[in-house]
Structure 1
Amino acid sequence: MAEFFDLSTPAKRFRLVAFWEAVTWLALLVAMVFKWGFGYDEAVKIPGMLHGITGFMLFVLVTLATARALKWNAKVTLLALISSVPPFGTIVFERWAVRNGLLAELSLTTPQGATGEQDGDAQKDQAGARA
């Protein structure tokens, strides 16, 4: 768990902020239930500000810094930024980026068998070596 809070590289900072953005989204969604379901208009005041500043804006800044540090192209950077719009999209993007080798050392330390593509490639290589 301490490894999750390691902020020593751009990829690790991106991962933590992507998950934090999703947590603040969850808090805002819960607050919206209280606002629209139970009539507590003030319920979204703090979670809305928390998500807007420490979730969304922080994610945008860290995404731009990560894109520069890891040399993401414009398409990947745009996908990362768009992922902050739907709830929990940042988690989906982070997982996709790890699987596709876009998050440096996080992509290299993916456990064996975590992605079908890597397993399929390994099986093809083994089959070619046997033939």
Structure 2
Amino acid sequence: MQPYRLFRITAIAEAFSWTGLLIGMYLKHVAETTDAGVWLFGRLHGALFIAYLVATLWVARAERWSLVRTVVALAASVPPLTTLLVERWLSRRRPAPVTETV
């Protein structure tokens, strides 16, 4: 799998897991109905958080990102849903793929 494709997939998945975790926290702490959402999405989000960090470091090295771009992408993993915004920002600044003409 190409590094940027994996980065994109993990960025989107990490954002969805954040959403599930936020809903789970609402159900546990506000509605006080169940803690199943926190149990499930907490574990899922933890795994996807680590996967996103690894994918970010991999694509940063493979595509020779600047230190600023790499730090911004890594920092995006902390606030909820920010990985979506950063992935979109990075995709707009990504050079077009080179196609071979034979």
CA-based RMSD: 1.7
**Structure 2 segments unaligned to the other structure (5+ residues):** none
Highest RCO, 1 vs 2 (Cα 8 Å, sep ≥ 6): 2
Aligned counterpart for 1:51 among listed residues 45, 48, 58? 45
1:63 aligns with 2:18: no
Residues paired across the two proteins, number: 97
Map 1:72-87 → 2, pairs under 5 A:
72-87=65-80
Give the deviation of 1:71 after TM superposition.
0.5
CA-to-aligned-CA distance 1:2-52 (integer Å, 9 cap, x gap):
xxxxxx311111111110101111110110110111223454112111101
Which protein has the larger Cα radius of gyration, Structure 1 or Structure 2?
Answer: 1
Q: What TM-score does the superposition give when structure 1 sets the normalisation length?
A: 0.68
Q: What TM-score does the superposition give when structure 2 sets the normalisation length?
A: 0.86
1:17 aligns with 2:5: no
**Structure 1 segments unaligned to the other structure (5+ residues):** 1-7, 109-131
2:20 partner SS:
helix
Q: Identity of aligned pairs, percent?
A: 38
CA distance in 2, matches of 1:60, 1:92: 16
